[in-house]
């Protein structure tokens, strides 16, 4: 397959939208942490402490999701530069790494969504 400039360029909107979604998740968790911090200062509840531990784990995953998406984006730009200077072998190789980084980012996103769902189901169970 011949790699043209338009193929890595297709990753730009996908990665940009992914980054927006990741940022929204980060902002939601940050707001939740601020709320829990205030509640914890008032009550010093053990369950809030456990929730904070889960949120810390989720923040780490989101940070890694964002980092791998940014890395994928950077590799797509490098790929386009290599195509421009007609280094096709390196362009193909770097583009493969870019796709792999995007896949890693998406897998991390799946893991984070699973943790989020698990936390919500625990909260729902407490309400029943």
Angstrom distance (rounded) from CA 112 to CA 25:
10
pLDDT at 109 (0 to 100): 93
pLDDT at 75 over 90: yes
The per-residue pLDDT for 64 is: 95
CA distance 32 to 62: 15
Model confidence band, residue 50 (pLDDT cutoffs 50, 70, 90): confident
| Residue 46 tokens, joined | 């053990």
Average pLDDT over residues 9-35: 86
Round to whole Å and give the CA distance between 52 and 40: 10
Residues 6 or more apart whose CB falls under 8 angstroms from that of 95 comprise 3, 7, 8, 75, 76, 79
How many helices (H) and strands (E) are present in the chain, helices listed first? 4, 0
């Amino acid at each position: 397959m011949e790699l043209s400039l338009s193929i890595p360029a297709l990753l730009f909107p996908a990665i940009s939208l992914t980054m927006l979604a990741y940022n929204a998740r980060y902002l939601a968790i940050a707001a939740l942490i601020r709320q829990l911090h205030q509640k914890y200062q008032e009550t010093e509840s053990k369950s809030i402490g456990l929730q904070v531990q889960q949120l810390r784990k989720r923040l780490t995953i989101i940070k890694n999701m964002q980092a791998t998406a940014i890395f994928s984006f950077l590799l797509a730009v490098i790929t386009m530069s290599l195509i421009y200077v007609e280094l096709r072998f390196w362009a193909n190789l770097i583009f493969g790494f870019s796709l792999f980084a995007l896949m890693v980012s998406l897998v991390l996103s799946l893991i984070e969504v699973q943790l989020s769902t698990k936390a919500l189901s625990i909260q729902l169970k407490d309400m029943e």
